[in-house]
Amino acid sequence: MNKESNQGPTQKTRLQLFDRHTQSSDRSRGKIIVLGLALLGLFCVGLGLLFYQQRPVKPTQRVVTAQPITLHTKAKYAIVIDAKTGQILGQKDANQLVGIASQTKMLTAYGVLRAVERGQIKWSDKVPINQHTDWSNKDSDTYAHLDIHAGQAIAVRALYGAMFTSSANDAALALAEYVKPKDKSQQAELQQWADELHLTGSKWYNAAGQVNRDAFDFEVKNAQPNAENKATVTQLATLAWQDLKMDPSLREYYQKLGLVYHPTPDVNKIAQTEYSKFKQQVLPNLHNADNFKFEGLKTGSTPDSGGAFTGLLKDRAGHELITVVSGAGRYTDQIERYQYTVDVANEVLEHTVPCTFTAGQTIAGAGTVVNSAVKTGKTAVVVQETKTYWVPKEAQSSNLGVYPPNKINQAPVKNGQRIVKLAPALKTEYIPNSQKTDRGLAMISTQNEATAAWWQRCFNWLFVYS
C-alpha cells in the first residue's frame, strides 16, 4: 500500500514530463516545417532571380552594322540623316564649323517652339515692330524682309512662317526679341538655346544669320565686324530634326507659293516665297530621276562658305531624309545646292536599303511581353508607329531584328496602351540629340487584360517571369 502510494506520484510525474516533451517536440517540429517552407521559398526566389539575371538578352535576328557611308559629293560638307530616328546615313566633313547665314533661323524657330511649349507665348500673340526690327528701308534683294514698319504688330505665327517661306530677317529678329528675357542679350539667348541642343562649339551673334556688321542695331560690339554664326552640318541637321519633331507642320510651309500677312488688321500683304522661286527657276533644271519631293527647310549662303541648303526630302516610298550641303557651289548660285542635295540623297539610296516596321505589325520573336501582373502572365504587343532603319545593301536582307522586350509587372492593361520600347538589332550612329525613345520602337497592347490575383502573380513571377 505504502509502496503503491510511493509509486503513484512518480508515475504521474513521468506522464506529465512525457506530455511536456511531446508538446515541445510538436512545437519544434512546427518550427522546422515553417523554417523549411521559408527556406524553400527563398530558394525558389533566389533561383528565379538567378535565371532572370543570368539569362542573356539575344536579338531576334543577328545584329547588323550600318555605319554612315562617306559621301562623294562636290559639296565641301554634307550629311544625310533619317528624319524620324536621327540615324546618320552618310556624311562628308560633317563636323567642320562653317558659316551658316540664314540657316540660323532654324535655331530662332527652336526658341519660338520652346516658348510656345512652355506656355510663355502663344501663336496668336502680336509681336511689336520697333525701330530696331523695322528693316523696311533696306534693300530687299540684299536683306530679305517683310513690308512692316515700327509701330505695327504681327502675329507670332505669321513671323514664324515668314522665316521659312521668305527668309525674312526682320521676322527672325523681332521673334528673338519677343521671346528672350528683357534683361538678356539676343546673342546670349541664342547661345543658351544652342547649349540646350548640345551644339557644342557653335557660334551665334544674331537671330537672322547676318554677318555681324550687317546686323545693324543687333551688331555685337565686342565681336569682329565680319564675325558670323557658325555650326557644323551635323548641328544643322540636328536643328532641322528638332524643329520637325516639335512642329511637324513645317512640312507645309515650303509648299506655299505666297506668304500672306497683316501688318494692321485691315491691311493684307503678300510676298513671294522661296518655294515659288524654286518651282519656277530651280525644279525644271534639276536632274531628279528618283523624283525626290522637296518639303523644306532652309537655304543659307555666305561668300566664304558658298551655297548651302538644309533640306527635307521624301522619296517615292515615303521615306523622309534630312540633308545638309554646304560649300555647294557659289553662294549666289541657285541650282547647285539643290542638285547636290538630290545627289547625296541618291548616293545614300544606292548603298542602303530601308527596313521598315509598320504600325500594327507583330514582330516575330517579340510579339509578347512577360507580364507577371496579368492572369496569363503575358501581354501581346504590336508596333505603335511606323519607323524605318537603314542597313547596307551588302547585308542582303531588308529584315531587321530587335532585342526582346523587358519583363514587366503592370496591370490592368488597356487595349492600345504603350507597354515597352524595343531597340533594333542595329549597330549604327545617330545625331547627338536622338534619344533611345526616338530610336526605339514603341509597342502597344492588343487587348484589355485584368489584374491577376496575388497567387497568380506569385506563380507568374516564379515560373513565367524566370
CB 212 within 8 A of CB 219: yes
* Residue 54 pLDDT grade (very low, low, confident, very high; cuts 50, 70, 90): very low
**Dihedral angle over CA of 22, 23, 29, 31, nearest 10:** -160
Q: Is the pLDDT of residue 357 over 90?
A: yes
Mean pLDDT of 195-224: 97
Cell 536621327 belongs to 86
Q: Which residues 6+ apart lie within 8 Å of 359 measured at CB?
A: 382, 383, 384, 385, 386
Percent of all residues in the chain with a pLDDT value above 90, rounded to a whole number = 69
Percent of all residues in the chain with a pLDDT value above 70, rounded to a whole number = 85
Q: Is the pLDDT of residue 36 over 90?
A: no
The reported pTM is 0.86
Q: List the catalytic residue out of 92, 105, 230, 407.
A: 105
Mean pLDDT of 344-371: 95
Q: Is the pLDDT of residue 49 over 90?
A: no
**CA-CA-CA-CA torsion sign (199, 203, 206, 211):** negative
* Residue 3 pLDDT grade (very low, low, confident, very high; cuts 50, 70, 90): very low
pLDDT at site 466: 53
The residue ranking higher by pLDDT, 23 or 306, is: 306
pLDDT at site 391: 96
Mean pLDDT of the chain: 89
pLDDT digits (tens, 9 = 90+) for 369-421: 988 889 888 999 999 999 999 999 988 666 899 998 878 888 899 999 999 99
Q: Is the pLDDT of residue 15 over 60?
A: no
Question: Rounded CA gap, 338 and 101, in Å?
Answer: 17
Q: Which residues 6+ apart lie within 8 Å of 328 measured at CB?
A: 74, 75, 76, 306, 307, 308, 309, 336, 337, 340, 341
Mean pLDDT of 137-153: 94
**SS3 call for 318:** coil
CB 313 within 8 A of CB 106: no
* Residue 11 pLDDT grade (very low, low, confident, very high; cuts 50, 70, 90): low
The residue ranking higher by pLDDT, 28 or 344, is: 344
* Residue 51 pLDDT grade (very low, low, confident, very high; cuts 50, 70, 90): very low
Is residue 301 annotated as a catalytic residue, yes or no?
no
Is residue 102 annotated as a catalytic residue, yes or no?
yes
Looking at 24-38, 133-147, 262-276, which range is the least confident one?
A: 24-38
Q: List the catalytic residue out of 76, 84, 92, 102.
A: 102
Mean pLDDT of 188-212: 97
Cell, residue 179: 521671346
Q: Is the pLDDT of residue 304 over 70?
A: yes
Q: List the catalytic residue out of 84, 92, 166, 167.
A: 167
Closest CA to 171 of 99, 111, 232: 111
Mean pLDDT of 77-90: 98
Q: Is the pLDDT of residue 209 over 90?
A: yes
Q: Is the pLDDT of residue 46 over 60?
A: no
Mean pLDDT of 316-334: 93
pLDDT at site 34: 61
Domains of the chain by start residue, with CATH: 56-64+356-464 (no CATH), 69-351 (3.40.710.10)
3-state helix, strand, coil in the chain (%, to 5): 35, 25, 40
pLDDT digits (tens, 9 = 90+) for 255-292: 888 889 999 989 999 988 888 888 899 999 999 999 99
Is residue 166 annotated as a catalytic residue, yes or no?
no
**SS3 call for 18:** helix
pLDDT digits (tens, 9 = 90+) for 334-343: 899 999 999 9
pLDDT at site 129: 97
Closest CA to 109 of 270, 295, 240: 240
Q: For residue 298, say whether it is annotated as part of any ligand binding site.
A: yes
